[in-house]
């Protein structure tokens, strides 16, 4: 286990921002394609969304492995204990949703009878038998988890901006890519 520092490692920063880009892209694509009429273009977008979802699932697994083996910087002692608890709970919710959302999408695709083929090459095994009712229920679960994720992300981003602009501490700057202090790998 690496000793805690005041800044995230270069790898942690890279994983954070890659995941952020992937998540915002997945959310935008998911909300956009949801109400499109059935067409070859919609099916292509669904395939891209599923490929990116599998990639996000794998990336969050690697990110969790990195986090468990590289201690993140401690929260400032000046932060009230309730706020520290909220920060930890928020991160736990983010990680839980980053796992649950792609898993719910995979289950939904399986139940709806649409196998995921990662990048059009690697078939991902179905987790459930085809079942319309279960597929419809999982579609609702997937959509609800994404709406919850948007709310948790808004809280995460809002808290980071509050720390930067109101509290004027280094909570935000220590995860920014260009921050160089103790920028270790």
**Structural domain spans, the chain:** 10-167
Residue with tokens 């995230």: 8
DSSP run (H or E) holding 106: helix 81-112
* Closest of 37, 39, 38, 58 to residue 106, by C-alpha: 58
Separation of alpha carbons 185 and 163, rounded Å: 25
* Closest of 5, 12, 3, 171 to residue 79, by C-alpha: 171
Separation of alpha carbons 118 and 47, rounded Å: 8
Taking residues 88-113, report their average pLDDT: 98
What is the rounded average pLDDT for all residues in the chain? 93
pTM of the shown model: 0.91
pLDDT score for 15:
97
pLDDT in tens, 146-179: 999 999 999 999 999 999 999 999 999 999 997 5
Taking residues 69-96, report their average pLDDT: 95
Q: Residue 182 above 80 pLDDT? A: no
Q: Is-contact 90 155, C-beta < 8 A?
A: yes
Four-way CATH pick for 10-167: 1.10.645.10, 1.10.1060.10, 1.20.950.20, 2.30.30.90:
1.20.950.20
Cα within 13 Å of Cα(48), Cβ side: 15
Binning pLDDT at 50, 70 and 90, where does residue 3 land? very low
Cα within 13 Å of Cα(58), Cβ side: 8
pLDDT score for 6:
84
């Amino acid at each position: 286990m690496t000793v805690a520092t005041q800044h995230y490692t270069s790898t942690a920063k890279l994983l954070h921002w890659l995941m952020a880009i992937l998540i915002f892209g997945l959310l935008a694509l998911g909300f956009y394609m949801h109400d499109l009429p059935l067409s070859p273009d919609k099916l292509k977008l669904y395939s891209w969304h599923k490929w990116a979802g599998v990639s996000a699932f794998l990336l969050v697994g690697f990110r969790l492995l990195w986090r468990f083996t590289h201690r993140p910087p401690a929260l400032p002692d000046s932060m009230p204990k309730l706020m520290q608890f909220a920060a930890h709970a928020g991160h736990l919710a983010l990680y839980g949703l980053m796992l649950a959302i792609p898993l719910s999408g995979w289950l939904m695709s399986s139940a709806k009878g649409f196998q995921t083929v990662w990048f059009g090459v690697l078939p991902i095994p179905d987790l459930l038998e085809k079942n319309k009712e279960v597929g419809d229920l999982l579609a609702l679960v997937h959509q609800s988890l994404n709406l919850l994720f948007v709310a948790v992300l808004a809280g995460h981003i809002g808290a980071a901006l509050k720390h930067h602009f109101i509290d004027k501490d280094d909570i935000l700057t220590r995860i920014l890519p260009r921050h160089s202090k103790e920028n270790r790998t």
